[in-house]
Structure 1
Amino acid sequence: MRNICIIFLFFHTDGLLYPYGPSIDNVTPKSDDGVSPPIPFTVPYFGENYSSIYVNNNGLLSFDVELGNSSVLHLTNATVGPFLAPFWADINNEILGEVYYRLSNDSELLNLTRNDISSYFPGVSFSPKWVLVATWDKVSYNHNQTNKTNTFQTVLSTDENSTFIMFNYGDIQWPTGKENEGPPALAGGSGGFTELKFEIPGSLTADIINITHTSNVNFPGRWVFRVDQVKVLLQQW
């Protein structure tokens, strides 16, 4: 009998989401407020160099420390370490969904990322050494009684001098992390215990559910920023 190998790869039909799935990615634990092990690589962010990243189930990446906190705050009030959040909310993948991630220097992924960044930042010469792809696939919110799910993704790329972050929003069906409780999700980033921060329009309001239709690069559902230095981030607003 011939052995049959089935490979799972997931693609978004309009090219919005980068490839992901169990055949190429790791997964975070099935746990409310769970987090990946530390992923070691050098990442310049907001003027500092960090040596590792955590993929947190609640919709964010954190630098050097895990951040399982499900309490979403406006960044003016946030007292947590540095993070990048495509969709920070009270996600619970014990109910539904998977959180996939991989750190890769695969040439096809590097070329895809370089070409995308070059198209959005035509004046910048960038050849990434590493790309971290984290995908929250059909994830549920805590106490979900409706089976609504969200799919979104972060693509972080760096040459260890410059760092770019891409937020991709495939399908957003719920805005708030608990049934009729708490604020809607936050999309943005923070340098930690500083005044360095940014929020995507619609964050922490009901309008966040429309993020699949907004963009800063003329590609609905995609937001892209250079985040290695404060001054270059400020120039993008």
Structure 2
Amino acid sequence: VLYPFGPEVGDEATHHEDDGTSPEIFLQENFSFFGHAHHSLYVNNNGVVSFGTMVPEYTPQPFPLPGHRPFVAPYWADVDTRLGGDVFYRQSRDPQLLAHLAQDLVPAVPPGDPPPQLTWAFVATWDRVAYFGAASDKVNTFQAVLASNGITCFVLLNYGDLQWTTGIANQGDPHTGLGGIPAQAGFNSGDNVHYYNVPGSRTPAVQSLSHRSNVGVPGRWAFRVDHFVATEGPPETPGTMSKTPATPWS
């Protein structure tokens, strides 16, 4: 379910550290997220791709967050790559990748519309990453893909094996990586109002994202995000999503 990643396809990687992040990455194309165009982003080790500012926080908080912090969270949790794993990222205009992405995004466009003619993508992959305080070899693999045709923008969240939900600083068990405050998955618009929670976020059910979908492919979730549209999966797909209404954050 994951798209190609790693040094062999030209990926860069963040440093092996706790709560680390990439340098600011200037985008080859502006990316529109909840109605706002962004020209740069950061890949944060703790499972977040953020626009304009880093997100080093290791405790997943309920959306919407106060302050201007727009970000995509495929799996916001306390990752520690000193204990294992890599965080890779790249921009791409590779025609083969863009064609593959366009076909996979068909469920995220209105029925009857053609696949989007993509011109750019950004792929961030957390490959077999460990959790803070781990006393086990449990690791997680997941991916966030941003894609655009210059106007319409999409995000795909792809999940491989998810073996843990929580680091010990969030009351997780050091031997299982479970319990405490589990990982968060979804989108924070940065306007203190609009957001989206993937069902199961901040509950033990977040570990099952690799078996659920909103597009009929276990482990894959697809969304249009320039003006956010919640993709409704086929009725037989577990975990079909609907938009979570905004509530005051405290």
The normalised TM-score by structure 2 is 0.83
Q: Could you tell me whether the CA contact under 8 Å between 1:62 and 1:83 is conserved in 2?
A: yes
The list of structure 1 runs, each at least 4 consecutive aligned residues, that deviate by more than 6 angstroms after superposition, is none
- 2:58 matches 1:60: no
- Structure 1 SS opposite 2:143: strand
Q: Could you tell me whether the CA contact under 8 Å between 1:33 and 1:56 is conserved in 2?
A: yes
* Partner Cα distance (2:64, 2:188) in 1: 10
**CA distance 1:18–1:55, shift in 2 (3 Å):** same
| Runs of 5+ unmatched residues, structure 2 | 174-178, 233-240, 243-250
Q: Could you tell me whether the CA contact under 8 Å between 1:28 and 1:98 is conserved in 2?
A: yes
- Structure 2 SS opposite 1:94: coil
Picking from 198, 203, 206, the partner of 1:205 is 203
**CA distance 1:101–1:44, shift in 2 (3 Å):** same
| Mapping 1:76-87, distance limit 5 Å | 76=64, 79=67, 81-87=69-75
Map Cα deviations across residues 145-192 of structure 1 (whole Å, 9 max, x no partner): 011000011111012211111111110000113333741000000111
Q: Decide which moves more: 43-52 or 69-78.
A: 69-78
1:28 alignment partner AA:
T
* Partner Cα distance (1:185, 1:80) in 2: 21
Aligned to 2:20: 34
Q: Could you tell me whether the CA contact under 8 Å between 2:108 and 2:223 is conserved in 1?
A: no
Aligned to 1:188: 186
Aligned to 2:136: 146
Tell me the percent identity: 40
Q: Displacement of 1:123 after TM fit?
A: 3.7
* Partner Cα distance (2:16, 2:150) in 1: 31
Map Cα deviations across residues 38-73 of structure 1 (whole Å, 9 max, x no partner): 221210000000111111100010001111111211
| Runs of 5+ unmatched residues, structure 1 | 1-15
- 2:8 matches 1:18: no
* Partner Cα distance (1:189, 1:66) in 2: 15
The normalised TM-score by structure 1 is 0.87
Q: Displacement of 1:209 after TM fit?
A: 1.1
**CA distance 1:51–1:77, shift in 2 (3 Å):** closer
Q: Could you tell me whether the CA contact under 8 Å between 1:97 and 1:139 is conserved in 2?
A: yes
Q: Displacement of 1:89 after TM fit?
A: 0.2
Q: Displacement of 1:79 after TM fit?
A: 4.5
Q: Decide which moves more: 172-181 or 101-110.
A: 172-181
- Structure 1 SS opposite 2:19: coil
1:194 alignment partner AA:
N
**CA distance 1:78–1:123, shift in 2 (3 Å):** farther
Map Cα deviations across residues 96-130 of structure 1 (whole Å, 9 max, x no partner): 00001110101111111112112543544411121
Aligned to 1:12: none
